[in-house]
Amino acid sequence: GAVVSQHPSRVICKSGTSVKIECRSLDFQATTMFWYRQFPKQSLMLMATSNEGSKATYEQGVEKDKFLINHASLTLSTLTVTSAHPEDSSFYICSARDPGKPGELFFGEGSRLTVL
Amino acid sequence: QKEVEQDPGPLSVPEGAIVSLNCTYSNSAFQYFMWYRQYSRKGPELLMYTYSSGNKEDGRFTAQVDKSSKYISLFIRDSQPSDSATYLCAVQGGKLIFGQGTELSVKP
């Protein structure tokens, strides 16, 4: 089946630094990828929609300059958390839609970010 | 009003029980309906999806959609301890919107 790979699975960084998270679709080309954030015991909140070759679409309340999204190829999207603060500590999950399987969305394993 | 409402639980059942998980949604424009399973500290895993009212069965799992009442359900028969996880319903119109998730624990 379709596989979405996310890296790193865990990252710890100091406050003020930037962290990059990668999301790759391994079995298919994804023109659209999605980035979610999940706090403990809460649901997934969509942060932004990443479109290959164009600017990402951010959800209301999500800072574009803080959460930089790049979708440079059909198989790779990156999320960079800039100038990270402890309140940015969360579980970040990407997903991608397989054009050959409409209606299905495949998720990466998630990246747990801890900002000290 | 939230677009998708789901009872967060937690729900605890004995092994072998039938589990019923439910969600309601507010927008009749939603076209696809999904159930995801999420183990602790992992990404969600798609269990089932459907785009019409009625039932869809896959092994021990049955997804049910009632568009007239905007109600979706997931039934798990003969529940197993390995089914212990958080179950998230999701609806899709343009973007995917998740319910809060129900934490299920199946006790041996």
Q: What is the pLDDT of residue A98?
A: 80
Count the helix, strand and coil residues of chain A and give each as a percent rounded to the nearest 5: 5, 55, 45
| Structure tokens belonging to residue A116 | 């000290």
Contact call for residues A99 and A2 (beta carbons, < 8 A): no
Question: Shortest Cα distance from B98 to chain A (angstroms)?
Answer: 6
Rg (CA), chain B: 13
Name the phi and psi angles at B81, rounded to 5. -55, -30
pLDDT in tens, B48-89: 888 888 899 999 999 999 999 999 999 999 999 999 999 999
Chain A partners of B8 at a C-beta cutoff of 8 Å? 41
Chain B partners of A109 at a C-beta cutoff of 8 Å? 42-43
CB spacing of B49 vs A107 below 8 angstroms = no
Q: What is the mean pLDDT of residues A51-79?
A: 92
Q: What is the pLDDT of residue A89?
A: 95
- The answer to whether residue B13 scores a pLDDT higher than 90 is yes
A62 CB near a chain B CB, below 8 Å?
no
Percent of chain A with pLDDT over 90: 69
pLDDT in tens, A4-35: 999 999 999 999 999 999 999 998 888 889 99
Q: Among partner residues B31, B96, B100, which is closest to A105 by beta-carbon distance? A: B96
Burial letters for B63-96: b for 16+ Cβ neighbours within 10 Å, e otherwise? Answer: bbbebeebebbbbbeebeeebbbbbbbbbbeeeb
Half-sphere exposure of B37 (CA within 13 A, CB side): 13
Q: Among partner residues A43, A110, A112, which is closest to B88 by beta-carbon distance? A: A43
Give long-range contacts, CB 8 A cutoff, 24+ apart: A39-43: A39/A90, A39/A91, A40/A91, A41/B8, A41/B101, A41/B103, A42/B100, A42/B101, A43/B6, A43/B88, A43/B98, A43/B99, A43/B100, A43/B101
CB spacing of A107 vs B45 below 8 angstroms = yes
What gap in Å lies between CA A44 and CA A35, rounded to an integer?
Answer: 9
Chain A partners of B41 at a C-beta cutoff of 8 Å? 91, 110, 112
- The answer to whether residue A1 scores a pLDDT higher than 90 is no
Q: What is the mean pLDDT of residues A49-53?
A: 87
Interface test with B, best of A105, A111, A112 (most B CBs within 10 A): A105
